[in-house]
């Protein structure tokens, strides 16, 4: 296979999606100001809010526009792409409603689940995963057969259930790691490019070309948004922009040949931060779905790091983990995931201890 062909296969969709996103984002900023889609910290009293001036929301609009235009130009409109685009549109619509009305977190979870069900309904599931100890674990059984629209269809119960769980999880953990300027809009292109590079490893398989193209489109869409999101941010991605990122990365990991372990490593920091957040909230008697100021990026800010430094830190770690993931076999990926859990979990425990220590009253004067 000609390498120039593969390079063009990736670069042209990326450039177009970047251009659409870059042009549409300033227009979205103007629209957001006009219709009052603004996040004003003076009107909200929540510990997770760290910006100090009004910022437009609705960043999902230019990202979605980029995704739709580039996908319809470079990809065949089959049932899989149709399901992905419908899920993306639904995600951004819900995100815009949340940007305007601050939806209940449980309603957000429900809408994320509905979004995942859309893509599973068109046949995107996890039929197998690689066994770290060797071989493949098949998930295509048990099946239920139903007659629908004049034909027989099969539901792969375990494969479909895990796909829904995986997509909803990624949508939420990516959303949770979007708390400051430029953070998520830098992480997503790195993760998407990693998945595209995985697809290039089997250039003789044409079924992987659309995966590389969609990954390139995803990367370009968020790269075009990044200049307006990096500190000092002129627009926020909003719930639509962040959950759309998690949705696309989750689906890409499935389409790339069930590269779930690779995605877990590349998104290692958000993944472990998400697990830590759920455990911490439950242990302290709080709902795991209600936001707070306890994520890793909050802890780093408490240490005195600037927003720019925290965002770049996330980018660098994601890039390093992406390079590592591309050079590991299944067993090595398992060991890497375990190491990440221990290392990042230890850092989070340490930072939480420092935060608790600094918040204690000074008793040195009696």
* Maximum pairwise Cα distance, the chain: 81
- Is residue 2 part of an annotated ligand binding site? no
**Residue 156, strand partner residues:** 143
Spatial separation of the C-alpha atoms in residues 75 and 6, rounded to whole Å = 15
Task: From 241, 258, 330, select the one nearest 58 (Cα to Cα).
Answer: 241
Burial (Cβ within 10 Å: 0-12, 13-18, ≥19) of residue 43: exposed
CA 265 → CA 158, 169, 214, 268, 341, distances in Å?
A: 23, 15, 20, 5, 10
Cis omega (within 30 of 0) for bond into 232:
yes
Query: What are the φ/ψ torsions at residue 9 (nearest 5 degrees)?
Result: -55, -35
Expressed in angstroms, the distance from the first to the final Cα of the chain is: 76
Spatial separation of the C-alpha atoms in residues 80 and 89, rounded to whole Å = 14
Query: What are the φ/ψ torsions at residue 182 (nearest 5 degrees)?
Result: 80, -5
Q: Looking at residue 100, what DSSP letter applies?
A: H
Token digits for 182? 């430029």
CA 68 → CA 73, 77, 78, 86, distances in Å?
A: 9, 11, 14, 10
Other Cβ atoms less than 10 A from the Cβ of 109: the count is 15
Question: Beta strand pairing status for 143-148 and 151-156?
Answer: antiparallel
Spatial separation of the C-alpha atoms in residues 210 and 254, rounded to whole Å = 13
Token digits for 160? 């479909």
Annotated binding site for Mg(2+): 175
Annotated binding site: 175
């Amino acid at each position: 296979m000609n390498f120039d062909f593969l390079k063009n296969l990736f670069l042209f969709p990326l450039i177009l999606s970047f251009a659409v996103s870059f042009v549409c984002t300033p227009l979205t900023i103007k629209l957001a100001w006009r219709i009052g889609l603004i996040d004003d910290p003076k009107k909200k009293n929540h510990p997770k809010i760290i910006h100090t001036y009004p910022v437009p929301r609705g960043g999902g609009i230019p990202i979605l526009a980029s995704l739709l235009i580039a996908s319809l130009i470079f990809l065949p409109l089959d049932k899989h792409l149709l399901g992905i685009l419908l899920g993306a549109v639904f995600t951004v619509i819900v995100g815009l409603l949340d940007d305007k009305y601050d939806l209940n977190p449980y309603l957000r979870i429900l809408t994320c689940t509905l979004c995942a069900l859309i893509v599973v309904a068109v046949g995107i599931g996890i039929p197998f995963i690689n066994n770290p100890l060797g071989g493949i674990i098949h998930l295509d059984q048990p099946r239920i057969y139903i007659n629908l629209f004049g034909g027989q269809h099969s539901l792969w119960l375990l494969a479909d259930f895990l796909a829904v769980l995986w997509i909803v999880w990624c949508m939420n953990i990516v959303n949770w790691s979007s708390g400051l300027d430029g953070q998520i809009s830098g992480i997503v292109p790195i993760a998407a490019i990693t998945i595209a590079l995985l697809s290039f490893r089997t250039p003789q398989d044409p079924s992987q070309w659309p995966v590389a193209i969609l990954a390139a489109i995803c990367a370009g869409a968020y790269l075009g948004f990044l200049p307006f999101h990096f500190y000092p941010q002129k627009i926020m991605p909003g719930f639509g922009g962040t959950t759309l990122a998690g949705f696309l990365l989750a689906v890409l990991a499935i389409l790339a040949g069930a590269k779930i372990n690779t995605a877990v490593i590349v998104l290692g920091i958000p993944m472990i931060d998400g697990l830590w957040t759920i455990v911490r909230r439950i242990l302290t008697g709080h709902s795991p779905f209600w936001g707070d100021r306890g994520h890793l990026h909050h802890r780093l800010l408490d240490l005195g790091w600037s927003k720019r430094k925290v965002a770049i830190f996330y980018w660098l770690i994601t890039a390093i983990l992406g390079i590592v993931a591309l050079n590991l076999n299944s067993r090595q990926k398992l060991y890497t995931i375990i190491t990440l859990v221990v290392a990042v979990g230890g850092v989070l425990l340490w930072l939480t201890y420092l935060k608790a220590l600094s918040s204690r009253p000074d008793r040195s004067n009696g």
